Structure 1
Amino acid sequence: MAKKAVVLFNLGGPDAPEAVEPFLFNLFYDPAIIRLPTPLRWLVAKLISRRRAPVAQEIYAFLGGSSPILPQTKAQAKALEHSLNDGADDLHKTFICMRYWHPFAADVAREVKDWNPDEVILLPLYPQFSSTTSASSLKDWQCAARGVGLNAPTAGFCCYPTEAGLISAYAELIEPKLAQLQGKPCRLLFSAHGLPQKIVDAGDPYQWQVERTAEKVVDKLGVENLDWKVCYQSRVGPMKWLEPSTETEIHRAGEEGISLVIVPIAFVSEHSETLVELDIEYAKLAKKVGVDEYLRVNTVGVHEDFIAGLAAMVLKLSGQSIQSENGGRICPSGFKDCLMLAS
């Protein structure tokens, strides 16, 4: 029986009010986020984190002072481990690795080494690839693994934007919300975390993959003449970000006098962007601008189809490389940030 360590990557979040500023510093000090030379990036990260900390602390106050992302990821890890070991020949153990707050890659890599696996499988909990998320986490892990001398054969995933279990889970969560608005004019809004436009223009495939996820979910729903749109939330700073913004689409729905069903299409667990931004801030905006009804779909979380889809990917993984959901490159060749060589 082979021992396989499955490392789940996620963003992480502050676990106390005093952790907010250092969490933000870690985020903005990442060269994948702020693309400046090290001394200048340190100064910018320090400035941004200090200025944004009071606002962010107010946001996390709505959540009890801390982010729920770690306990939610623990629940996903437990469900996945159970699924992987149910009748399997190999022994799988899941580990959680956060990018910007505890547990950090160096500590997790040491835990994995102590467990002494025959193989390590890397699984970002970002269905759609971006140089700012999956690539950053994978690079951080590789550095940490070298640092602790973890030499086990390693493989993993870069993305799975159209994986069948993911799509099925979204569709099942959306259907009752659409049924609730039956007979009313409504629009399905797929809201994803935004990126600066220049990052996408430089070759990041995130937007393209988000759009593919939304298309597959719409196909799965099979609703005739469904009105739907992809939009982007959580803009920070003065630069141009991906459009249309979720706020713009909420205003448009208000002007048109229609209802909205909001789907957090790029998040697989609940955190501040869903529980505060979507549920509180955007809900308040929707009411203000005259949106008839505003319904928010839950993230996929531990949905049976989502977990089963992740397990199926892990079980069929072969080789020692970073792969997409189908083993080959799924991004068009123009996206140079894709981790896989052009096919």
Structure 2
Amino acid sequence: MTAPTPLPHAPRDHPPVRMGKVGLLLANLGTPDGTDYRSMRRYLNEFLSDRRVIDYSPWLWQPLLQGVILSKRPFTSGAAYRSIWNEEADESPLATITKAQTAAMAERMRARFGDRVQVEYAMRYGNPSTVSVVERMKAEGCDRIVFFPLYPQYAGATTATANDQFFRALMKLKWQPAARTVPAYADDARYVDALARSVERAYAAMDGEPDILVCSYHGVPKRYLMEGDPYHCQCRKTTRLLRERLGWDESRITTTFQSRFGPEEWLQPYTVEEVARLAERGKKRIAVIAPAFSADCIETLEEINEEIRESFEHAGGERFDYIPCLNDDAAHMDALAEIAVENMAGWIAPDAAVARAAE
């Protein structure tokens, strides 16, 4: 923790203030505190009450959410989480991985800046909350904060709502730190290279090559695209850049969207249906990767590796390989660290003494 710093030109009896550090705050979607009914209901209520996620009129949506959905869904979601829960740490895999990513990022920041950058993480839903972490970072001397939503592709329901919560946290402070938000990095060459390396490693370890690689992105209602959300276009671009980096032709890779919710049309093709069609068309061996997720979570470990796998195999598919998210992979963390440093430009310079010591 930074020692209290006397304010210049302040009277001697002025209370000391901690200041002088740059904060780097990594943000992910969130996780329930447990798999029991109350923990799941609390988490789902916060998540599904977010107008960025479900933008129906609260007069229509909230009675349905509170009276029907939250009386049943905590049980089914709890069961899904239990199937992937990290029992040793008593937390979800997303929490475990996000902690590892934060530690890896902190190590990289120390190598450049010594103790002048404080790295933390927060969740948009659940704990640790964005508000609580921002308040703590400010109290511990971070007078500048770079807020980094860990979503490669921008969407109103991910990047924007994370930023919204960050701004709400700032609204609660009497003395706000200077703030920056990191934009989406869907076409960043370093991120694409890390993705490509993960595919190359996975393929090299397989006994034979898949017929096709399915890039499965989290879905959003198609209406969001028509209203100006760039998510669909950025997902398509990531797939194209990944294909080009791998040196493949278009027949070896495809883009799909998963996690459909509600009655309206979402971005298509739907992953769960497309993998069945691929099997029926003779693609008996496929690999699936989830480029929209920076860390493995319920949507990848349970939905892809269980529900989507089952759809493929039921339709006659013979070999299904899931390629894990980048998580705290070294190339991934190197890429994110470089992006973070670029967004600190003008706020902090590398520590020459630290750099010399590392040589």
Tell me whether the two structures share a fold, i.e. TM-score over 0.5.
yes
TM-score, structure 2 length as denominator?
A: 0.83
Aligned partner of 2:331 in structure 1 is 305
Per the TM alignment, residue 152 of structure 1 is displaced from its structure 2 partner at its CA by 1.3
| Kept in 2: contact 1:165–1:307 (CA 8 A) | no
> For the residues of structure 1 that align with 2:246 and 2:106, how far apart are their CA atoms?
29
> For the residues of structure 2 that align with 1:293 and 1:245, how far apart are their CA atoms?
20
| Kept in 2: contact 1:190–1:265 (CA 8 A) | yes
Per the TM alignment, residue 50 of structure 1 is displaced from its structure 2 partner at its CA by 2.6
Question: Equivalent residue of 1:5, what SS?
Answer: strand
The structure that has the greater radius of gyration is: 2
The 5 Å alignment of 1:115-134 reads 115-134=140-159
Does the alignment pair 1:55 with 2:55? no
Per the TM alignment, residue 52 of structure 1 is displaced from its structure 2 partner at its CA by 1.6
Aligned partner of 1:286 in structure 2 is 312
Percent of pairs with identical residues = 26
Question: Equivalent residue of 2:266, what SS?
Answer: coil
Q: Which runs of 5+ in 2 are unaligned?
A: 1-18, 347-359
Moved more, 133-142 or 10-19: 10-19
Does the alignment pair 1:101 with 2:101? no
> For the residues of structure 1 that align with 2:272 and 2:31, how far apart are their CA atoms?
24
Residue of structure 1 aligned with 2:264, choices 236, 239, 248: 239
Does the alignment pair 1:203 with 2:228? yes
Per the TM alignment, residue 38 of structure 1 is displaced from its structure 2 partner at its CA by 4.3
Aligned partner of 2:45 in structure 1 is 25
Aligned partner of 2:26 in structure 1 is 8
Residues 46-97 of structure 1: per-residue CA shift (max 9 Å, x gap): 2423332221112112023852211211110110111122133672111111
The 5 Å alignment of 1:119-268 reads 119-179=144-204, 186-224=211-249, 226-258=251-283, 259-268=285-294
TM-score, structure 1 length as denominator?
A: 0.87
| Kept in 1: contact 2:203–2:209 (CA 8 A) | no
Per the TM alignment, residue 45 of structure 1 is displaced from its structure 2 partner at its CA by 3.2
Per the TM alignment, residue 192 of structure 1 is displaced from its structure 2 partner at its CA by 0.5
| Kept in 1: contact 2:305–2:322 (CA 8 A) | yes
Match for 2:106: what amino acid?
E
> For the residues of structure 2 that align with 1:188 and 1:41, how far apart are their CA atoms?
37
RMSD of the TM alignment (CA)? 2.2
Per the TM alignment, residue 40 of structure 1 is displaced from its structure 2 partner at its CA by 4.3
| Kept in 2: contact 1:2–1:90 (CA 8 A) | no
Match for 1:288: what amino acid?
H
| Kept in 2: contact 1:126–1:133 (CA 8 A) | yes
> For the residues of structure 2 that align with 1:311 and 1:2, how far apart are their CA atoms?
21
Q: Which runs of 5+ in 1 are unaligned?
A: 321-343
> For the residues of structure 2 that align with 1:148 and 1:184, how far apart are their CA atoms?
54
Per the TM alignment, residue 185 of structure 1 is displaced from its structure 2 partner at its CA by 6.2
Per the TM alignment, residue 209 of structure 1 is displaced from its structure 2 partner at its CA by 0.8
Aligned partner of 2:8 in structure 1 is none
Moved more, 159-168 or 48-57: 48-57
> How many residues of Structure 1 are paired with residues of Structure 2 in the alignment?
321
Moved more, 8-17 or 174-183: 174-183
Aligned partner of 2:349 in structure 1 is none
Aligned partner of 2:3 in structure 1 is none
| Kept in 1: contact 2:243–2:250 (CA 8 A) | no
| Kept in 2: contact 1:188–1:228 (CA 8 A) | yes
> For the residues of structure 2 that align with 1:162 and 1:250, how far apart are their CA atoms?
26
